[in-house]
Amino acid sequence: MPELPEVETIVRDLGALLPGAVVESVHVIHPDLIEGETAEEFERALEGRTIHAVARRAKNILLDLGDELLVVNLGMTGRLLARSAGDEEPSHPGVRFTLGNGRRLDYHDIRRFGRLQRFTPAAWADRDRDLGVEPLSDEFTAAHLHERTRASRVAIKVWLMDQRRVVGVGNIYASEALFRARIDPRRPAKSLEPEESSRIRDSTRAVLDEAIRFRGTTFLDYRDARGERGDFARRLAVYDREGLPCATCRAPIQRIVQAGRSTFFCEGCQN
DNA sequence: AACGCGCCCTGTCCGC
DNA sequence: TGCGGACAGGGCGCGT
């Protein structure tokens, strides 16, 4: 579900709301959401702690608790919602954090593919090492991208979605970035010319930046930290548009399956 | 080692 | 109207 723009939107929202808040109590409704320890250990460890800052790494939300981190991955349908005491109950409650001043932080998740895990800074540094480059950072250059793609024969669309290489790009924005770059998603990564890698780099950044400005894409389940939908869905050029006319050439958008996931593209414009 | 696949889970939609 | 199958913004562990 949420890719980089959706997670970034939530992180910016929570960054304005949570720092300084004290976690008064924690209630785990679905223990399978907690990674690395029991629900009881998780609840006990977090009670009384202060949330100092909120950050993002890849598609993870990082809550800085001082000497440890609470890392939230939303999976496909996870939501992390800042609420007030009187707000209604979520329909799929997973974990409830009761904060000071009558506020709450609710995690809910219909499919429960999401995970919440506590990390020491050292343990998180280990995990962080396995994650690829942030596409909006200065390190994500055309040269970096081209050098890394040369080592792999997987299809470029599948390559872009691999979080060990580039983080934050999921199924929607991989298709959208390749459409903007006019690159066929089936092309082996190692077949890309430097100029093509450069176009992919630019289009990936552009589509992610734009989607952040629109507060993300709500396809079905995504909501921001206030429970509001993102507005980027109407800007999608190819994703979920099988059979509809390409905005550039009017030919019907194609849908294929790569690594078990749908890919959308225009056969005429992308080659 | 890199890559493909199945699986985790619930909900919705579409065809019969 | 009901029912089975396909599919849905992710990520992990397995086998080859």
- Please give the Cα distance from A32 to A249 (Å, whole number): 48
Question: Annotated catalytic residue: which of A49, A56, A57, A59?
Answer: A59
Rounded Cα distance, A145 and A138, in Å: 12
Which residue of the set A103, A182, A255, A261 is catalytic?
A: A261
> Is the minimum distance from the CB of A29 to strand B below 7 Å?
no
Short-list A208, A194, A105, A186, CA closest to A146:
A194
Q: Which nucleotides of C are covered by protein (CB under 7 A)?
A: 7-12
| DSSP symbol at A189 | G
pTM of the model: 0.97
A110 touches strand B (CB under 7 A): yes
User: Catalytic residue at A59?
Assistant: yes
Please name the helix (run of DSSP H) or strand (run of DSSP E) that holds residue A210, with its range, or none.
helix A194-213
**CA–C1' A29–B16 (A):** 39
pLDDT recorded at residue A84: 86
CB A154 within 7 Å, strand C: no
- Output the pLDDT for position A45: 98
* Burial tier of A8 (Cβ tally within 10 Å: 0-12, 13-18, 19+): buried
A260 CB closer than 7 A to any strand C atom: yes
The sign of the torsion formed by the CA atoms of A56, A5, A37, A101 equals positive
Please compute, for residue A88, the number of CA atoms within 13 A of its CA located in the half-sphere on the CB side: 4
**Residue ranges in chain A modelled with pLDDT below 70:** 1
| Annotated catalytic residue A2 | yes
Please tell me whether any atom of strand C lies within 7 Å of the Cβ of A122.
no
Euclidean distance between CA atoms A202 and A260, whole angstroms: 26
DSSP annotation of A251: P
A2 CB inside 7 Å of strand C: yes
**Beta-carbon contacts of residue A107 (< 8 Å; ≥ 6 apart):** A33, A72, A78, A79, A80, A81, A93, A94, A95, A96, A97, A114, A116
Report pLDDT for A1.
66
Within 242-261 of chain A, which residues have Cβ less than 7 Å from strand B? 259-260
Residues 6+ apart with CB under 8 A from A199: A181, A182, A183
For A76-88, b/e burial (b = at least 16 CB within 10 A) is bbbbbbbbeeeee
Q: Which of A185, A28, A192 is nearest to A106 (CA)?
A: A28
Active site residue A157: no
CA A78 – C1' C5 distance (Å)?
25
- Report the distance separating Cα A240 and Cα A63, nearest Å: 33
**pLDDT given at position A91:** 84
